[in-house]
Amino acid sequence: MTEHEDLVNFTGDLYRARDSGDPAAVAKALERLDALLHPHTHAEERGLFTVLRRSREFHEHVDGLCAEHAGLGAMADEIRRGDFEVIDEFIAALRDHMDKEDNGLFPAAAIELEGPDWEEVVALTESDPSRGATATSSPSAVASARSAAIPGRSVPEPT
The backbone torsions φ and ψ at residue 62, rounded to the nearest 5 degrees and listed phi first, read -65, -40
The count of residues in the chain is: 159
Torsion from C-alpha of 125, 126, 128, 129, nearest 10 degrees: 160
Q: Which stretch binds Fe ion (CB under 5 A): 37-45, 77-85, 117-125, 139-147?
A: 37-45
Q: Shortest gap between Cβ of 73 and Fe ion (angstroms)?
A: 11
Nearer to Fe ion, 65 or 142 (CB): 65
Q: Shortest gap between Cβ of 119 and Fe ion (angstroms)?
A: 21
Q: Which stretch binds Fe ion (CB under 5 A): 7-15, 28-36, 40-48, 121-129?
A: 40-48
Answer yes or no: are the C-beta atoms of 53 and 59 closer than 8 Å.
yes
The single-letter code of the amino acid at 111 is I
Binding site for Fe ion (CB under 5 A): 44
